[in-house]
Amino acid sequence: MVQTVQDLLKGPHPAFLEGMGGSAFLRRLIAFRLQIPVSRLFTEPDYPLGEQASVLRDDLQRLENGCPAGYIFGEVGFLEWEFYSDERALCPREETAFLADWLRRAHPQAPKRIVDLGCGSGVIGLSLALSWPESQVTLVDLSPQALALTRKNVERHNLSSRARLVASDWWNALTGAQFELVVANPPYVASDDEVEPGVLSFEPHAALFSDEQGMADIKAILTPLDHFLAPGGMAALECGHYHHKTLQVWLQGSGLNYEWLQDPYGVPRYLIIRKELDAWQKS
């Protein structure tokens, strides 16, 4: 019977743990549940697990079934910061952090107004606001549960004076507004796409699936984009791995000035759109 830290650490360990950092990850999880520093696990290997032993068994089972670690710990790292994370919103992926970091490097001057459409937990828009102290960010989501999570992250990072939360189906509640930077990680999974069982079991389906082979929400954002994107502005959308092909004809007829940016694995995943300055602004 597992009764102490040493009992749990000596194993045997489930194979999936190796892909998550092995014993280092397990120590972090144990320390989190016992609410003690990780260092004490080394100095007190016989520290009793007590009632947390069953909780830890449940944690390991959930992780093996595909639950994101961020849901277990209740927070997730994104760029340089930690954000609250739970089942109310998707757990941020490496690909999304890559896009946010690319946007920081692509803007030598901070955009004055940013909108994060379908913000989920708010990590994209809020990390950009933290990177650019002079920027204002509007965080939009149709889910009141997701917006409640976003509000917690706004408060965690003391951004209430620069962040506005809007309950809206994409642009519907933003009539007349314009933004220098539009960013979105919309639902883009088609109903017949193969999805990992853990994603289906633990993450919100409304944030995953979209009609028209995963293109419906992307098109809903792009169709009126010109009205909301300020001259000289940029829009960046994370898309599915095949959308650079399936969206091609639609994009060619849209009149948008677009290009595809590759993700860390060489997949054209990010749709980047730029709007030219008005003639009087160029002079």
- Separation of alpha carbons 80 and 120, rounded Å: 19
Give the pair of three-digit tokens for residue 211.
């009609």
pLDDT confidence of 2, banded at 50, 70, 90?
low
Q: Residue 270, class by beta-carbon neighbours within 10 Å (0-12 exposed, 13-18 middle, 19+ buried)?
A: buried
Nearest to 141 by CA among 113, 111, 172: 172
Q: Is 79 left (phi over 0), alpha (psi -120 to 50) or beta?
A: left
Instruction: Quote the mean pLDDT of the chain.
Output: 94
Domain positions in the chain are 5-64, 87-282
CB 68 within 8 A of CB 28: no
Question: Which CATH number, 3.65.10.10, 3.40.50.300, 1.10.287.3510, 3.40.50.150, labels domain 87-282?
Answer: 3.40.50.150
CB 153 within 8 A of CB 122: yes
Tens digit of pLDDT for each residue in 16-45?
Answer: 888 888 889 999 999 999 999 999 999 998
pLDDT confidence of 13, banded at 50, 70, 90?
confident
CB 190 within 8 A of CB 243: no
pLDDT at 182 over 80: yes
Mean pLDDT confidence for 44-69: 93
For the question of whether the overall pTM of this predicted structure is more than 0.85, the answer is: yes
Q: Residue 241, class by beta-carbon neighbours within 10 Å (0-12 exposed, 13-18 middle, 19+ buried)?
A: middle
pLDDT confidence of 158, banded at 50, 70, 90?
very high
Rg (CA), the chain: 21
pLDDT given for residue 278 in this prediction: 63
Task: Give the lowest-confidence range in 55-64, 76-85, 140-149.
Answer: 55-64
